[in-house]
Amino acid sequence: MKKIIIALLIVSLAACNKNNDKADGYGNFEATEVTISAEANGKIEFLNLEEGTILEPNTTIGLIDTTQLYLNKQQLLASKTTVFSKSKNVLSQTNVLQEQLKTTLIEQKRVQNMYTENAATKRQVDEVEGKVNVLKEQIKSVGTQDAPILNEAKSIDVQIEKINDQIEKSKITNPIKGTVLAKYAEPNEITAFGKPLYKIADLSKMTLRVYFSETQLPSIKIGQEVTVSIDDKEGTKPYKGTISWISSSAEFTPKVIQTKEERVNLVYAAKVTVKNDGSLKIGMPAEVKL
């Protein structure tokens, strides 16, 4: 009889341990994948990356041919030089007229003084005044000729800035720190604007999309620390995780989760952020204990 009682206790403890080992949620790891595309058209001169390469942000890893852009820029610079030569000609004319006006004003003052002393006629005063007015109008006329030239120069500057931007975008610059997941292009291939070059994701922190039942919702909150486990050769490998997001609406349990009966239940999705030691991969299944 005593042996039977001991056996029942052992079975009961084993059942309790089994229930304690049961996870509170199941899911799969994911990461934010970013597809980097070309921002220019032309031949890829070089592309220094391979699948699995870890790239730093703001690192130039490739270049699309910029020969045509460079030649267009040189043509615009030559046009700008020509335009400024026209402006210099206008400026030279203005300077000549300004000197003539300066001399005429001196003459006008002298004639007016002579007229005051009755040494000059009214006609002479009117003539010199007319010369002053003519020169002033000529200076204004030359000034209006300079305005279109300056506007043309500004237009060329805008075109040059546009080409500089295109040249800058011909450099393939990695935007974020992460691991290259896929490579879609090779050097010497012809690419086009918007064509994918490679896919990258930051795997230093992984996100586990896990599902909880309605009855478990009161037990979870954003910022809560949980235990995440993955399959290991010795059983399971635990990680510390933090709940970063909880869905506000219910959905049917995904087919990859649990049994057919459990799949028809409504659950709430949540995201758990886990620091990756290199073992966690995209799509890997895991379980969560609260």
Give the number of other Cβ atoms within 10 Å of residue 61's Cβ: 19
Q: Are residues 253 and 276 in the same domain?
A: yes
Statement to judge: residues 214 and 132 lie in one domain = no
> Domain check: are 213 and 285 in the same one?
yes
Q: Give pLDDT tens digits for 104-148.
A: 888 888 888 888 888 778 888 888 888 888 878 777 777 666 677
For 47-76, write each residue's pLDDT tens digit: 999 999 999 999 999 999 999 999 999 999
Residue 18 placed within a domain:
no
Q: Is residue 223 part of a domain?
A: yes
Q: Which of 181, 198, 215 is the last residue of a domain?
A: 198
| Same domain? 102 vs 162 | yes
Give the pLDDT band of residue 12 (cuts 50, 70, 90): very low
14 in a domain, yes or no? no
pLDDT of residue 109: 87
Identify whether residues 218 and 129 lie together within a single domain.
Answer: no
Residues 132 and 266 occupy one common structural domain: no
Domain annotation covers residue 19: no
Phi, psi of 203 (to 5 degrees): -100, 5
| Domain housing 178 | 38-65+172-198
Q: Which of 170, 187, 214 is the last residue of a domain?
A: 170
Same domain, 46 and 182: yes
Q: How confident is the model at residue 7 (pLDDT cuts 50, 70, 90)?
A: very low
pLDDT at 215: 87
Q: What percent of the chain has pLDDT over 90?
A: 54
Please indicate, yes or no, if residue 9 is contained in any of the structural domains: no
Residue 16 lies in a domain: no
Q: What pLDDT is attached to residue 270?
A: 96
pLDDT above 70 (res 21): no
Q: Can you tell me the mean pLDDT for 16-22?
A: 50
Regarding beta strands 190-191 and 285-289, do their DSSP bridges make them parallel or antiparallel, or are they unpaired? unpaired
Residue 2 domain-assigned (yes or no) = no
* 113 and 191 in a common domain: no
Angle of helix 122-169 versus helix 67-116 axis, rounded to 10: 170
Q: How many domains does the chain have?
A: 3
Minimum mean pLDDT among 28-32, 120-124, 261-265, 276-280: which range? 261-265
Distances (CA, A) of 290 to 154, 228, 266: 65, 9, 19
CA distances to 45, 48, 96 from 198, rounded to whole Å, are 16, 11, 63
Q: Are residues 110 and 191 in the same domain?
A: no
pLDDT of residue 16 exceeding 60, the answer is no
Q: What is the pLDDT of residue 132?
A: 82
Residue 109 and residue 274: Cα distance in Å, rounded?
A: 90
Helix/strand/coil percent split, the chain, to 5: 45, 30, 25
54 strand-pairing partners = 179
Task: Say yes or no: 92 and 119 in one domain.
Answer: yes
250-263 exposure pattern, b = at least 16 Cβ within 10 A, e = fewer: eeebeeebeeeeee
User: Could you tell me if 243 and 111 lie in one domain?
Assistant: no
Say whether 270 sits in a helix, a strand or coil: strand
Last residue of a domain, one of 161, 181, 198: 198
Of 184, 211, 188, 213, nearest to 198 by C-alpha is 184
Average pLDDT, the chain: 85
